């Protein structure tokens, strides 16, 4: 069985600065980590491998060169190999373009039976790339999976956590599966895993290797545009009473409180 | 897709069993606002088994037209089949805008359709409006844990798609005098093919409405000093002392409450109390949801 896990490197804090001119994140100022919600997808992949003969896990990530660190984190938990999709031409990709690039890589490295993803990334928070990859590859998708019940005979049976309960659903392989937190408890990598990950070579694949023309990736390949970015202002509703004299102001305050039923 | 100046605004109705489906009605309120700003028609798309009654309710809550895709195969959500059907409708009628609730349903089916249609999709919007100059949909959403807000457009492709966070807008009042057209759409059998199959559904045991549906939220904390007081608090806030100020107030405002427990209340590190809600009838005409829970509830 061939398993792919799609992961993303995200800023480690939620106090990220945004460049208000370009609408992009100021990445240099923050430390990065493997998207916490992807840990559940990685863990589930490793668990499937442990219960299956001849399973291999490939971790795929798109991002800057530094994203190879996130891939290594996944390798240290027990994944077999990693592929980094990185190219200047990929910069500024929205969810459609990102899914397009990842789909091209999944086709190139071929014949994955199960493609696992986290529910969403903690920075962009769209949760759209997983289903979008499924649509672009023309394979089924199971989202919000809270339990994989069985994988056999070319079929997967899984439980989805929906608003008012748990839905059990079956799909044919190959399939994209996005998992939610409650599916498992991600393991802490052991020392040998860390050492293996440290020494692992992560090949870097660009637009050329994937055969993607410039108009299909990055900002050019993205149907959406960010037109403005702003910080939301949280303010309390307040009313300032100003009168010519203190008596007048006090009277207005009294009337106001009375009208609200406070006095 | 060819440019249409006044294409319809479409909302995708939530796929759920019951008729009083708040998420769909909220979406109609959003859609109505956008359609009125654009001066175009508002249509709802409903994909399910037995669409007649829910289609009529969508008209009462603001739709001009309802496109109904009705098949016994749609009794349960099958992502690929639903996406194919919605995509077929989009291709045929070329709406200008398509919005769906940001629920597990909407968040699954919309990326599939956007990918098939090769158009943009913005997740989890909290504000939508029409740009007066360009006529484009301005899609505003929080990102990075709500630390920033971004406004996004889909300038060159149609439809302009977005999922909308539930409870960001109130449904329009139901208007039983509204009339509209219900179009029952026919599909070739292969469009209904799915590589997924529904097995079973098990409802959560807490059959009470979620926090997001509270009309008024009041929070309490450590100041309540004991868990017992905390547990009694929703009642105190509601209907016990008939002539107390609290009661009069709660009647006036139709008060609901959330009480936040603090870890210090809990002895022996027992698990967090299960998040609960209670209905409190503050006056015969009003029934409001009252909630109390804990800061570690996933609703926070």
User: In this predicted structure, what is the pLDDT of residue B193?
Assistant: 86
Residues in chain B within 8 Å Cβ distance of A136: 115
Query: pLDDT tens, A142-196?
Result: 999 999 999 999 999 999 999 878 999 999 999 999 999 999 999 999 999 999 9
- A103-119 pLDDT, tens digit per residue, is 999 999 988 999 999 99
- Taking CB atoms and an 8 Å limit, are A228 and B201 in contact across chains? no
Cβ-in-10-Å burial (0-12, 13-18, 19+) of B228 comes to exposed
Instruction: Indicate left, alpha or beta for A144 from its phi (over 0: left) and psi (-120 to 50: alpha).
Output: left
Quote the CA–CA distance of A212 and A204 in Å, as a whole number: 15
Which chain A residue has the Cα nearest residue B23? A163
The pLDDT value recorded for residue B147 is 73
CA distance A4 to A113: 8
> Which of A162, A233, A262 best probes binding to B when mutated, by most B CB atoms within 10 angstroms?
A162
pLDDT reported for residue A104: 97
Q: Quick: pLDDT tens for B84-94.
A: 999 999 999 99
Specify the higher pLDDT residue, B3 or B210.
Answer: B210
Is the distance from CB of A10 to CB of A123 less than 8 angstroms? yes
Given an 8 Å threshold on Cβ–Cβ distance, is A136 in contact with B249? Answer: no
Q: Which of B112, B123, B156 sits opposite A135 (nearest CB)?
A: B112
- Band of pLDDT at residue B236, cut at 50, 70 and 90: low
The band of B206, judged by pLDDT with boundaries at 50, 70 and 90, is: low
Check if A24 contacts B (Cβ < 8 Å). no
Residue B259 has pLDDT above 80, yes or no: no
Contact A227 B122 (CB under 8 A): no
pLDDT above 70 covers what percent of chain B?
A: 64
Residue B149 zone, left/alpha/beta (φ > 0; ψ -120 to 50; rest): beta
Confidence of residue A18 (pLDDT cuts 50, 70, 90): low
The pLDDT-based confidence of B264 (bands split at 50, 70, 90) is very low
Query: What pLDDT score does A255 carry?
Result: 86
Q: How confident is the model at residue B227 (pLDDT cuts 50, 70, 90)?
A: low
pLDDT in the model for residue B260: 36
CA distance A130 to chain B (A): 9
Q: Which of A40-54, A227-241, B63-77 has the lowest mean pLDDT?
A: A227-241
pLDDT at position B281:
33
* A10 pLDDT more than 70: yes
Residue B266, pLDDT above cutoff 70: no
At A90, list the tokens. Answer: 């990929």
Q: Identify the pLDDT of residue B270.
A: 39
Residue among A262, A94, A240, A99 at smallest CA distance from B143: A94
A173 touches chain B (CB under 8 A): no
Range of weakest confidence among A230-239, B1-10, B49-58, B225-234: B225-234
Mean pLDDT on B116-134: 94
Residue B160: strand pairing partners: B97
Biggest alpha carbon–alpha carbon distance for chain A? 86
- What pLDDT is recorded for position B222? 57
* Candidate from B80, B114, B201 with C-beta closest to A96: B114
Number of neighbouring beta carbons within 10 Å of residue A53: 6
The distance of A247 to chain B (nearest Cα, Å) reads 29
Q: In the predicted model, is pLDDT for residue B285 greater than 60?
A: no
| DSSP state letters, B111-141 | HHHHHHHT--EEEEESEEEE-TTT--EEEEE
CB A168 within 8 A of CB A149: yes
Is B249 close to A169, i.e. CB distance below 8 A? no
Rounded-to-integer distance, Cα A172 and Cα A153, Å: 9
The 10 Å Cβ neighbour count of residue B271 is 8
Pairing of strands A165-172, A114-118: unpaired
Give me the pLDDT at residue A29, please. 58
Task: Provide the token pair at B225.
Answer: 């000093």
User: What pLDDT, on a 0 to 100 scale, did the predictor assign at position A229?
Assistant: 87
> How many CB atoms neighbour CB B70 within 10 A?
18
Nearest-neighbour CA in chain B from A140: distance (Å):
6
Partner B contacted by A171 (CB < 8 A): yes
DSSP state letter for A263: -
* Mutation site, A11, A126, A175, A226, interface B, largest B CB count within 10 A: A126
A110 in B contact zone (CB under 8 Å): no
Residue B97 predicted with pLDDT over 60: yes
ipTM of the complex: 0.84
Q: How far apart are CA B285 and CA B6, in angstroms?
A: 42
Contact A122 B201 (CB under 8 A): no
Q: pTM for the complete prediction? A: 0.79
Question: What are the phi and psi torsion angles at A168 (to 5°)?
Answer: -100, 130
A171 three-state secondary structure: strand
Average pLDDT over residues B99-106: 93
Decide if B213 contacts B289 (C-beta within 8 A): yes
> Which residue from B104, B120, B157 is facing A143, i.e. has the nearest CB?
B104
Beta bridge partner(s), residue B220: B259
pLDDT confidence of B238, banded at 50, 70, 90? very low
- Asked whether the beta carbons of residue A167 and residue B77 sit closer than 8 angstroms, the reply is yes
pLDDT range class, residue B51, cuts 50, 70, 90: confident
Mean pLDDT of chain B: 75
Please check whether residue A140 touches B, CB under 8 A: yes
Does the pLDDT at position B256 exceed 60?
no
> Helix A95-109 to helix A129-137 angle, to the nearest 10 degrees?
50
């Amino acid at each position: 069985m061939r398993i792919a896990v799609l992961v993303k490197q995200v800023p480690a804090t939620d106090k990220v600065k945004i460049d208000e001119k370009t609408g992009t994140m100021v990445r240099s100022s923050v430390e990065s980590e493997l998207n916490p919600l992807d840990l559940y997808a990685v863990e589930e992949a490793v668990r499937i491998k442990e219960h299956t003969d001849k399973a291999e896990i490939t971790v795929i990530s798109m991002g800057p060169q530094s994203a190879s660190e996130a891939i290594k984190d996944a390798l240290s938990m027990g994944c077999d190999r990693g592929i980094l999709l990185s190219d200047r031409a990929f910069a500024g990709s929205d969810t459609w373009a990102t899914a397009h690039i990842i789909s091209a890589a999944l086709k190139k490295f071929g014949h994955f039976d199960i493609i696992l993803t986290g529910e969403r990334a903690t920075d962009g928070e769209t949760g759209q790339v997983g289903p979008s990859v499924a649509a672009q590859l023309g394979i089924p998708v199971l989202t919000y999976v809270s339990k994989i019940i069985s994988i056999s005979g070319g079929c997967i049976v899984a439980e989805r956590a929906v608003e008012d309960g748990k839905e059990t659903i079956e799909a044919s392989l190959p399939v994209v599966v996005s998992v939610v937190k409650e599916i498992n408890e991600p393991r802490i990598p052991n020392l040998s895993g860390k050492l293996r990950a440290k020494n692992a070579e992560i090949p870097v694949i660009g637009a050329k290797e994937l055969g993607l023309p410039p108009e299909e990736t990055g900002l050019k390949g993205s149907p959406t545009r960010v037109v403005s970015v702003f910080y939301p202002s949280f303010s309390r509703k307040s009313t300032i009473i100003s009168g010519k004299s203190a008596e007048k102001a006090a009277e207005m305050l009294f009337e106001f409180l009375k009208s609200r039923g406070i006095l | 897709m060819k440019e249409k100046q006044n294409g319809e605004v479409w909302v995708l109705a939530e796929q759920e069993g019951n008729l009083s489906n708040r998420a769909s009605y909220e979406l109609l309120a959003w859609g109505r606002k956008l359609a009125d700003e654009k001066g175009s028609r508002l249509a709802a798309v409903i994909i399910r088994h037995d669409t007649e009654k829910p289609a009529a309710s969508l008209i009462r809550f603001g739709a001009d037209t309802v496109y109904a895709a009705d098949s016994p195969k749609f009794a349960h959500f099958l992502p690929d089949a639903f996406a194919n059907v919605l995509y077929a409708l989009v291709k045929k009628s070329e709406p200008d805008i398509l919005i769906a609730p940001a629920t597990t349903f909407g968040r699954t089916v919309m990326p599939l359709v956007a990918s098939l249609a090769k158009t943009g999709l913005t997740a989890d919007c909290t504000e939508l409006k029409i740009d007066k100059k360009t006529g484009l949909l301005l899609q505003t959403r929080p990102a990075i844990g709500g630390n920033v807000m971004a406004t996004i457009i889909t300038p060159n492709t149609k439809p302009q798609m977005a999922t909308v966070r539930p409870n960001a807008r109130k449904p329009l009042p139901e208007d039983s005098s509204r009339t509209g057209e219900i179009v029952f759409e026919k599909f070739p059998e292969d469009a209904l093919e799915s590589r997924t199959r529904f097995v079973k559904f098990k409802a959560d045991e807490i059959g009470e409405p979620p926090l997001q549906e509270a009309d008024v939220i009041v929070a309490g904390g450590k100041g309540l000093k004991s868990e017992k007081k905390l547990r009694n608090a929703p009642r105190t806030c509601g209907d016990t002392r008939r002539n107390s100020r609290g009661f009069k107030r709660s009647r006036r405002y139709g008060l609901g409450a959330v009480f936040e427990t603090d870890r210090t209340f809990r002895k022996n590190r027992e698990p967090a109390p299960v998040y609960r809600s209670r209905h409190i009838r503050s006056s015969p005409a009003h029934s409001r949801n009252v909630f109390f829970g804990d800061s570690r509830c996933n609703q926070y």
